[in-house]
Chains A and B, each alone.
Chain A
Amino acid sequence: MTEQPKNFGFGEDETMLKDSAQKFFADNCSPDKIHSQVAHDPSIHRPIESIWDKSLWQQVVELGWTAVCIPEAAGGIGMPLVAAVAIAEEAGKSAFPSPLISTYCATFTLMACDTDSANKALADIATGTATTLAITNEKGSWESSDTDVSVANGRLTGTAWFVQDAKKADRFVVSAKGENGVGLYLVEATAANIDIIADGIIDLTRDQAHIAFNAAECTELAAEGAGDKAIDAAIPSILTIVSADMVGAGEWLLQTTTEYAKTRVQFDRPLGFFQAVKHPLVNVMLDIDRTKSLVYNAACAIDSGEATTELNARMAKSQASDMAVFSSSRAIQFHGGIGFTWECFVHIFFKRQMHNHVLYGDAKYQRAKLADMVIGKAA
């Protein structure tokens, strides 16, 4: 094991970045603003749409936040993963509707490709080209080798499912099977012969789609046989960044519910007086702190070049998924009747957590993977 920094690598620059992200989202992305923006139509059969503030995204790009982890050689800032983790945590705390997290996931995958075309795509991300992964099949498999898209003669055919922020993205990084295995391919959102079909999803703060490719033109990012390996190499960072978003959302749920428990009076006492409310909220805090430390550790392990990054990241995502369920369920429950309504902000974060919970594998999925790694395959 290498020597890791005690502070997880949160040096002066990373800490300053975290502070400025916190301020930025507090100033520009308040819960009431988000609510009026994304929850204006409560109808269960509301039209499927992607709602976001593009000008705010532009500001994020100008702040350099899409470029933080991209190597300087590829036009980025070259900061460690903990820097992106800091931003993702703050983004999650404000349920920021944007392709930021999905673009980070694509960034890590592109960084693992190590090809000129991937580096060029990274340079474009650094200047604000929103890019997202299209690497999941219809069955929702999180295995890098599973894809329903095939590649032949430089064109893609088939459908990629569960594509995050597809309507906000400018480009897709698509995994496709060829004769010699899975490769990765870049496709413009405006390309001909693709059909982006938006999914009706629970989470109001993002969009999702399945994308049908009908002999669509593409640029190779990783050759056949190298694509699944690039995804596997990126998975620790992907799990870590999604978990960081969840930590932020969890903290918002904890703070908001605690505040409510201090002010809402029943039986002549604030709710928080009652241990039936106080103790579970403490348990939520314990769960968040466990997750936060595991996320920072996972990021630091990646930044330190550890051999255990998959182990560290799967531990973080497992804990994050359990915490997501617990933090959001307690928030709804302790807000009581008002918490069950559309007008209360809590459901925004509840739904974001429900979505994050399953993304790239839920807690039990991660633990099954970990068991195989740590205990060995079951007989």
Chain B
Amino acid sequence: MSEAQKMDTPEQAAFRAHCKEWLASNHPGRPTVKLPLGALELSNPDALAWLQKWQKSAYDAGLIGCDYPKEVGGGGMENCQSIANAEMQRVQTPYLPNIIGMGMAAPTVLFHARDEVKAELLPKLLSGEEIWCQGFSEPGAGSDLANQQTFAERDGDNWVINGHKVWTSLAHFAEWMILLCRTSKDDKYNGLSYFVVPIEKALGNGVTVRPLIKLTGETGFNEVIFDNLVVDDRYRLDEVGAGWKVAMTTLAHERGAGPMTTPASGGMAVEEQEGAQTNSAMALIQLAKQQYRNGKTAADDPLIRDDIIKMMIRQEAFRQNQRRANVPSLTDHPMRIPLQFKLVATEMAQDLQQIAYEVEGAAATLYVNDDNAPVSGQWPLAYMNSFGITIAAGANEVQRNILGERVLGMPKSK
């Protein structure tokens, strides 16, 4: 029996047993369609459909949304989502497709929407039947998120929305969007309001979704243009002008630092799907043993060896930080470690992939469309894609401001 299991409450222990039992006979098995590395990369509707079927079955079995109240489609339990996550990860089920919905929209709706809206939206969000996307970034509002220009103007019981959102992952599949926008030009922060908007229903009638092509040549995110989109006032979250406060709930959960645990499956080994794992120091070692420099393998080069071991140490430190973050007596500020996760994880991935790029030597020039590229060109592709995550969700420069200000208490850099 693991230490985690020993500490289970009776409710948790019963729930864990239920998860184990259900997963033993309901693991969806190997995907019948080729899946991308993560949900945010989904572009094939068949892949989405396969994953939605998996999410729905896990939801119906009570493994998703277990900590949400029953009235909104949840399981009405306490501290059980992390158990479901651990059990799903243990048997390496596929990832869940409605990642923005569960990770950002659901807790925001739960804490800020009116009751009938929660009951209307959360069941199909948690089941994955309705996909969600996030409308925060704009051409002029990236790191300076509060510089929103998309405007919602009141019209009786409705709001009329005009503006332009960018880097909107999953918008091409999404029924709903969480939307931060401006309702007053008088005050930068207090002039913001927060809505949930049905974008799919409004396609061609106030909403246009266009794909943006990443520097890798892949699609994956979109720009969304609002042209007099009409939204019912009941879809406003919290007060008019309280948008910034609501957005903080979203961002806290995005950074893994909010009160609700995000349902997370995943763990199905990526190499089974793509033939290359691009996220571990062990994979780097594998690669280094196959690549050559100066007549020996890269794994024999002392500088490459040092780089690889440094990376291994960083990865282990990250795992141990996750462990320590759950022990209040060993963290002198409760947010000190959680607020590091996004920053550290994304820079670590980027540096790891950059080392791999070096390890490949001359062959690193070969891309995914070349038959001779080592491991199908996945390492240079991963390296290029890594800039998506060091920029997204608050560029890492902003993350450093947040840590410096909120944890170390230094004055605000603005």
Q: How far is the CA of A318 from the CA of B4 in the complex (A)?
A: 30
Residue among A273, A282, A315, A371 having the largest count of chain B Cβ atoms under 10 Å:
A282
Q: Are A3 and B306 in contact (CB under 8 A)?
A: no
Task: Tell me if B408 and A258 are in contact (CB < 8 A).
Answer: yes
**How far is A285 from B400 in the complex, measured between Cα atoms in Å?**
11
Q: Mark B311-325, 1 if CB is under 8 A from A, else 0.
A: 011101110110110
Which one of B320, B410, B413 lies within 8 Å of A258 (CB-CB)? B410
Closest B residue to A291 by CB, please name it.
Answer: B317
Cβ < 8 Å to A, chain B residues 1-16: 1-4, 7
| Interface SS of chain B | helix
* B101-109, B206-214, B296-304, B382-390 - the one binding chain A: B296-304
Interface segment, one of B24-32, B165-173, B187-195, B329-337: B329-337
Residue A106 lies at the interface, judged by CB distance under 8 Å to chain B? no
B324 touches A296 (CB 8 A): yes
**Interface readout for A262-302 with B: 1 if CB under 8 Å, 0 if not?**
10000001101111011101110110011111101100000
For residue B288, CB closer than 8 A to chain A, the reply is yes
For A229, the chain B residues whose CB sits under 8 A away are none
Min C-beta distance of A267 to chain B, whole Å:
13
List, in ascending order, chain B residues with CB within 8 A of A291's CB: 317
CA distance A296 to B343 in the complex (A): 22
Across-interface contacts of B285 in A (CB, < 8 A): 374-375
Cβ of B46 under 8 Å from chain A: no
In the assembled complex, which residues on chain A have CB atoms less than 8 Å from the CB atom of B343? Answer: 286
**A273, B411: Cβ atoms closer than 8 Å:** yes
Let me know if B323 and A289 touch, CB within 8 A. no
Q: Nearest B residue to A318 by beta-carbon distance?
A: B313
CB-defined contacts of A371 to chain B, threshold 8 Å: 305-306, 308-309
Minimal beta-carbon separation of B284 from chain A (angstroms): 10
The stretch of A5-13, A107-115, A173-181, A339-347 in contact with B is: A5-13
B3 and A4: CB pair below 8 A?
yes
Q: Taking the complex as formed, is A338 at the interface, i.e. its CB lies under 8 A from any CB of chain B?
A: no
Question: A367 with B306: in contact, given A7-B327, A10-B327, A278-B401 (CB under 8 Å)?
Answer: yes
Q: Quick one: which of A262, A370, A379 contacts B411, CB cutoff 8 A?
A: A262
Residues from chain B with a CB closer than 8 A to the CB of A327 are: none
Partner of A15, one of B312, B316, B329, B403: B329
B407 at the interface (CB under 8 A from A): yes
B2 touches A261 (CB 8 A): no
* Contact pick for A275, options B1, B302, B344, B400, CB 8 Å: B400
Do A289 and B330 touch (CB < 8 A)?
A: no
Question: Which of A272, A368, A376 has the most C-beta atoms of chain B within 10 angstroms of its own C-beta?
Answer: A272
Q: CB within 8 A of A285: which of B3, B297, B300, B408?
A: B408
Chain B residues in 8 Å Cβ range of A6: 3-4, 7, 323, 326-327
Q: Which of B296, B297, B329, B410 contacts A10 (CB 8 A)?
A: B329
Interface flag for A73 (CB, 8 Å): no
Say yes or no: A275 contacts B401, CB within 8 Å. yes
A residues less than 8 Å from B410 (CB atoms): 258, 261-262, 270, 272-273, 277-278, 281
List chain B residues, Cβ under 8 A from A285. Answer: 336, 340, 403, 407-408
Known: A278-B401, A371-B309. A3 touches B3 (CB 8 A): yes
Beta-carbon contact of A278 and B310 below 8 Å: no
Number of A residues contacting the other chain (C-beta, 8 Å)? 48
With contact pairs A285-B403, A294-B313, A374-B312 given, residues A262 and B409 touching in the complex (Cβ less than 8 Å): yes
A378 lies within 8 A of chain B by Cβ? yes
Contact assessment for A319 and B313 in the assembled complex, using a CB-CB cutoff below 8 Å: yes
Contact A293/B408 with A275-B401, A371-B305 known, Cβ cut-off 8 Å: no
A120 adjacent to chain B (CB < 8 Å): no
- Quick check: A8 and B330 within 8 Å, CB to CB? yes
- From residue A288, how far is it (CB to closest CB) to chain B in Å? 10
A364 within 8 A of B: yes
Q: Chain A residues near B312 (CB, 8 Å)?
A: 315, 370, 374
B397 at the interface (CB under 8 A from A): yes
Chain B positions within 8 Å of A297 at CB level: 316, 320, 323
Q: How far is the CA of A5 from the CA of B1 in the complex (A)?
A: 12
B296 touches A379 (CB 8 A): yes
Tell me the bound Cα distance from A6 to B325 in angstroms. 10
Q: How far is the CB of A254 from chain B (nearest CB, A)?
A: 8
Q: Are B400 and A10 in contact (CB-based, < 8 A)? A: no
> Cβ of B313 and Cβ of A278 under 8 Å apart?
no
Given the interface contacts A261-B410, A375-B288, does A294 sit within 8 Å of B309 by beta carbon?
no
Q: What residues of A have a CB within 8 angstroms of the CB of B400 in the complex? A: 275, 278-279, 282-283
Complex alpha-carbon distance, A272 and B320, angstroms: 29
B404 touches A278 (CB 8 A): yes
Q: How does the 8 Å CB contact mask read for A1-36 relative to B, with 1 for contact and 0 for none?
A: 001111110100001001000000000000000000
A-B contact sample (10 more), CB < 8 A, given A258-B410, A273-B410, A374-B312? A5-B3, A7-B329, A8-B324, A278-B400, A279-B400, A279-B404, A290-B317, A318-B310, A375-B309, A378-B300
Q: Can you list 25 contacts pairing A with B, beta carbon distance less than 8 Å?
A: A3-B2, A6-B4, A7-B327, A8-B330, A10-B330, A261-B410, A262-B411, A269-B411, A273-B412, A275-B397, A279-B401, A279-B404, A281-B408, A281-B410, A282-B404, A285-B403, A285-B407, A285-B408, A315-B313, A367-B305, A374-B309, A375-B285, A378-B299, A378-B301, A378-B302
Question: Which A residues are within 8 Å of any B CB, using their own CB?
Answer: 3-8, 10, 15, 18, 254, 258, 261-262, 269-270, 272-275, 277-279, 281-283, 285-286, 289-294, 296-297, 315, 318-319, 364, 367-368, 370-371, 374-376, 378-379
